[in-house]
Structure 1
Amino acid sequence: MSTTAAPAVTWTAGAVARMLGLPPSTLRAWHRRYDLPLSTPQTGSHRRYGRADVDALLRMKHLIDQGCSADSAAKRAFHDGGSTDVATLLAAVRRLKMDTATALLDAHLTAHDVITTWDQLCRPALTALSDTEADRCIDLVHALSWVIAAALHRIPPPADAAPPVLLACADGERHTLPLEALRAALAERGRAALFLGASLPVVALEDAVTRTKTAAVAVWASRPRELVPEINGARVLLLGPGWPPARGSAARPATLPEALDELTAKPSRLGSRARSLSNR
């Protein structure tokens, strides 16, 4: 099997201009007037743009749309070390420019780890749509959710020989994105995980544990529930705000970063950490 790394994704000037909603002549003028630096090596006569370059151009366009001068926007986007913010992502989503939203997320994931992107970009954007415009923005929430899931799916699973961590939503639970993020974050740390999707009955989860011989299961619930699953032969982590106070042997990490640390801890530490978390 070849171990050669896949080439980095790049775009032509025409493709980037379409993402920005601008004529190619405007993009050329920006380069000429503001000396925009590109992170992607240029080997031919035509410019090629990497994810970080697209991210910076989208920030520049957003700043201009918000009233900044083009000169100030170029300096802030390319020279001040900024990265995609929630407002820039939401501006693309509200126009249903999903190719633009995809490029923004991919660029952020290139510069940051999954948990940082989830906490600083994805979750705040979803909250902004759900809290303030829920009745009028169901289409936008679904479109953004799809873009986030697709970006996380592009993070490949590791070549981990150990049985995978099982991730599942509790029976009746439909919110899958937090576990999509956890799967991708585990992959970044070299830990294989198998996500079993939404609304999984306990009996099906028990069958999956038997089939995979996994030692760890994480179950997500966002809405209140009374029963805590107990899975023979596997350590159970209860994630999300829907679970009652921890009891028994189930661990109760308060955040995805805590769950990530718990699931990637060395085997000798797992038992003591699980007991500590369950007693909080």
Structure 2
Amino acid sequence: MVPAGDDSADAPALTVAAVARRLGVAPATLRTWDRRYGLGPSEHSAGAHRRYTAQDLERLLVMRRLTIDGVAPAEAARLAQAPDTVVPPTAASDDLTGRLPVGVPEVPALLGVPTPAGVPGRAAPGAGGVVALVDAALTGRADRCTALLDTAGTDLTAWWSDLVQPALAALARRTVVERPGVDARETLLGAVLAALRARTATPPPTGAPVVLLLPVPGEVRPVLAHVLAAALVDGGVDARLVAGPVSTRHAGELALMTRARAVVTLSESPAPDLSVVARLAGERTDLPQFVMVAEGAEDRVPLDRSVHRARTLPGLLHEALAAVAQSSVP
């Protein structure tokens, strides 16, 4: 465990009851964690009850956050006691999740997925990296988020599914009281975009095939569109994201103007307006379109030979690159 600050040694030791109130758990839970996983108080004076130090509390905070995110208690305890687990200070945001009587849905374990490691400052593989990223976002530390999200040598689809997406989901489950100017989700999204800008800083080669990413009317463009665009650039494509309102007429003009080899539309809405996709399919039967929508909205995807529905980010990336490669064959 790496202490969050240099003054932890001066912090007063805490009783079981005080720590239980801080974490929003029953004292019996703390005793169970002590007995089963060794996460007990380390300070002991003759004739007095054992008390929790600041370092003990940091380990328990990590344990609590991991279990809220669905990590098995034994694995959460192992990560909480790992020497490289970092807990940033929480002065800028009060995380109330552990104190509220909310149900936490079961989520798949985030551990055991191979991701690049060994880069200083980068988020560690698995749930520990997600926790560090979430804590940095909760405290408004954009620089820390950016360092944890370094994409050098990583596969962007894995980077998204193993780190960014779980962190966004974890933030969505948290109830926090934030200070003016602190927005955990916006801090994380800003760092994600910064990482993708750095990844694609080198312009694509002249003449690289263009893939156009169109917005859906009435929707905020999902950050996943930027991740896909950067992954397409990794594949040798000149990916361009269209911002602002796009009418059915504009879509065809943009495709012609950019000489797009393929068009991609992403939606997170349960009822997306895909009229632009349908109109473009009628005008440009030779132009492949790839559409990925939220679960339950599949029936809204227009049925057309040129329109292909993708179910996953890796699948969408593979199909789009294959279509571009096929269009380049004389």
Contact 1:165 1:194 (8 Å CA) reproduced:
yes
Q: CA deviation at 1:64?
A: 9.9
Asked whether the equivalents of residues 175 and 198 of structure 1 are also in contact (C-alpha less than 8 Å), the reply is no
Contact 2:138 2:183 in 1 (8 A): no
1:192 paired with 2:238, answer yes
| Mapped contact 2:216–2:274 kept (Cα < 8 A) | no
| Alpha-carbon separation, structure 2, partners of 1:237 and 1:267 | 12
- Structure 2 stretches of 5 or more lacking a match? 7-57, 64-77, 87-116
Q: Structure 1 residues 141 and 69 mapped into 2: Cα distance closer, same or farther (>3 Å)?
A: closer
| Offset, 1:96 | 1.0
Name the structure where helix makes up a greater proportion of residues: 1
Point out the more displaced range, 246-255 or 178-187. Answer: 246-255
When the two chains are superposed, the root-mean-square deviation of aligned CA atoms in Å is 3.7
Deviation by residue 1:84-114 (Cα, 9 ceiling, x = unmatched)? 62111001111111101100001xx124211
Q: Structure 1 unaligned runs (5+)?
A: 1-19, 24-61, 271-280
Q: Which residue of 2 is the match for residue 247 of structure 1? A: 303
Residues 21 and 261 of structure 1, relative CA distance in 2, 3 Å threshold = same
Partner of residue 73, structure 1: 83
State the structure with more CA Rg. Answer: 2
The whole-number CA distance in structure 2 between the counterparts of 1:212 and 1:219 is 16
Q: Which residue of 1 aligns with 2:113?
A: none
Contact in 2 for aligned 1:102/1:147 (Cα 8 Å): yes
Mapping 1:20-35, distance limit 5 Å: none
**Equivalent position SS for 2:217:** coil
User: What TM-score, normalized by structure 1, do the two folds share?
Assistant: 0.63
Q: Map Cα deviations across residues 60-80 of structure 1 (whole Å, 9 max, x no partner).
A: xx87974889995049997xx
Counterparts of 1:154 and 1:69 in 2: how far apart (Å)? Answer: 30
Structure 1 residues 204 and 256: CA distance shift in structure 2, 3 A:
same
1:33-112 to 2 correspondence within 5 Å? 66=62, 72-74=82-84, 82-83=124-125, 85-106=129-150, 109-112=151-154
Relative to structure 2, which stretch is displaced further, 127-136 or 250-259?
Answer: 127-136
Structure 1 position 127 matched with structure 2 position 169: yes
Q: 2:208·2:236 contact (CA, 8 Å) conserved in 1?
A: no
Q: Normalised by the size of structure 2, how large is the TM-score?
A: 0.55
SS in 1 for 2:290: strand
Is the CA contact 2:137–2:145 (under 8 Å) kept in the aligned structure 1? yes
Q: Deviations over 1:25-84 (max 9, x none)?
A: xxxxxxxxxxxxxxxxxxxxxxxxxxxxxxxxxxxxx87974889995049997xx9536
Amino acid at match of 2:319: E
Does residue 225 in structure 1 map to residue 272 in structure 2?
A: yes
Matches of 1:104 and 1:66 in 2, distance apart? 17
Cα separation, 2, equivalents of 1:150 and 1:91: 18
2-side partners of 1:75 and 1:172: how far apart?
41
Which residue number corresponds to residue 264 of structure 1? 321
Change (3 A) 1:144 1:216: same
In the other structure, the counterpart of 1:237 is: 290
DSSP-derived class of the 2:255 partner? helix
Does structure 2 conserve the Cα–Cα contact (< 8 Å) formed by 1:155 and 1:187?
no
User: Which segment is superposed worse, 156-165 or 121-130?
Assistant: 156-165
> Alignment length, in residue pairs?
211
